[in-house]
């Protein structure tokens, strides 16, 4: 497994397992077990996914040492204050059956995110979180956060896939030495990227699947990826991407299919961000 070094010196496995929308405990525990057997050590969940406890149970039942795991969770938007963020973090630790997190993220740039960041900084300084970061922050929100932050985010986890490549934001984050992590790296199965003709031609040339080519493309852009699956075959296939390399010409070809088409909520949609405060 390739590792990336974050701006605080900590290392993160560049590929992990996402568990968004996995709402069946048996499916989730089996997928985590399958992933561990295939060599995954990085697992990404969130309070709003309502499955932290199942992730915690699955990891606790494995024979993999805690120090060999990388566990990420996220504080949800309805926690708008310092104290609420602290309480949410403690609840996540309890559900995940651990006394620290490797990475904790502010899920969206909704109301109170500067106060939430202050809580994350204190938890980081106390050693309860190894690295802290944000999710779905674009340049305006990041610029605002950095005016008061004492610690720079280590990660920004954002929607990124071949049809929404985030080129400008990627360069911005690279310039700040903030790691770019992709959620929905395969387009969530709804972007159309998995049927793209250019990607298929490249996949055929390498005798790989289109999904494997997409993941390899992310990795070569120095992006962290967390593809989600509950199918053992796909979980195994998604990690089988370290035995080939895309050429410069292939990387350029993939850059050319960008449609700049977002598939999910927009972090700049103030109406959605306000509505999200009542989601739990």
CATH of the domain at 181: 3.20.20.100
Alpha-carbon span 173 to 180, nearest angstrom: 7
pLDDT for the residue 14: 98
Tens of pLDDT, residue by residue over 94-121, are 999 999 999 999 999 999 999 999 999 9
Angle of CA points 157, 217, 196, to nearest 5°: 105
Give the other-Cβ count within 10 Å of 268's Cβ: 12
pLDDT for the residue 25: 85
Active site residue 49: yes
Q: Look at the chain and report how many structural domains it folds into.
A: 1
The answer to whether 156 and 134 are in contact (CB under 8 A) is: yes
pLDDT for the residue 188: 81
Query: Among 40, 49, 104, 113, which one carries the catalytic annotation?
Result: 49
Residue 129's φ and ψ, nearest 5 degrees, are -135, 130
The answer to whether 105 and 75 are in contact (CB under 8 A) is: yes
Residue 44's φ and ψ, nearest 5 degrees, are -120, 120
pLDDT for the residue 191: 77
pLDDT for the residue 197: 96
The residues with which 225 forms a beta bridge, in sequence order, are 15, 182
Instruction: State the virtual CA torsion across 237, 241, 244, 250 in degrees, nearest 10.
Output: 100
Specify burial of residue 147 (Cβ count, 10 A radius: 0-12, 13-18, 19+): exposed
Which residue ranges of the chain lie beneath pLDDT 70? none
Residue 215 to residues 124, 196, 210, Cα–Cα distance (Å)? 30, 14, 9
Q: What is the DSSP letter of 7?
A: T
pLDDT for the residue 90: 98
The answer to whether 219 and 239 are in contact (CB under 8 A) is: no
Q: What is the DSSP letter of 228?
A: B
Structural domain of 239: 3-276
Phi-psi region of 231 (alpha: psi -120 to 50; beta: other; left: phi over 0): beta
pLDDT for the residue 24: 79
The answer to whether 185 and 193 are in contact (CB under 8 A) is: no
Handedness of CA 20, 198, 223, 1 (dihedral sign): positive
Q: What is the token pair recorded at 269?
A: 């949609």
pLDDT for the residue 149: 97
Q: What is the token pair recorded at 214?
A: 């997409």
Alpha-carbon span 244 to 60, nearest angstrom: 33
């Amino acid at each position: 497994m390739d590792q990336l070094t974050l701006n605080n010196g900590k290392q993160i496995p560049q590929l992990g397992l996402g568990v968004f929308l996995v709402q069946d405990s048996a499916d989730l525990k089996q997928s985590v077990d399958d992933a561990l057997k295939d060599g995954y050590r990085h697992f990404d969940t969130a309070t709003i996914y309502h499955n932290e406890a199942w992730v915690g149970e699955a990891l606790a039942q494995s024979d993999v040492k805690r120090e060999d795991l990388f566990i990420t969770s996220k504080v949800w938007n309805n926690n708008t204050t310092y104290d609420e963020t602290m309480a949410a973090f403690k609840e996540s630790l309890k559900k995940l059956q651990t006394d620290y997190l490797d990475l904790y993220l502010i899920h969206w740039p909704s109301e109170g995110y500067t106060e939430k960041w202050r809580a994350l900084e204190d938890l980081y300084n106390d050693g309860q979180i190894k690295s802290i970061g944000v999710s779905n922050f674009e340049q305006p929100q990041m610029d605002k956060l950095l005016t008061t932050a004492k610690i720079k985010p280590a990660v920004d986890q954002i929607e990124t896939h071949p049809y929404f490549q985030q080129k400008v934001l990627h360069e911005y984050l690279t310039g700040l030495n903030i790691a770019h992590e992709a959620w929905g790296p395969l387009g969530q199965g709804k972007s159309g990227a998995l049927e793209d003709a250019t990607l298929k031609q490249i996949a055929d040339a390498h005798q790989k699947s289109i999904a494997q080519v997409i993941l390899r493309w992310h990795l070569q852009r120095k992006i962290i990826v967390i593809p989600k699956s509950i199918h053992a075959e796909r979980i195994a296939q998604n990690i089988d991407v370290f035995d080939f390399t895309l050429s410069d010409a292939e990387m350029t070809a993939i850059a050319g299919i960008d449609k700049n088409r977002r598939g999910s909520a927009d972090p700049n949609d103030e109406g959605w961000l306000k509505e999200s405060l009542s989601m739990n």
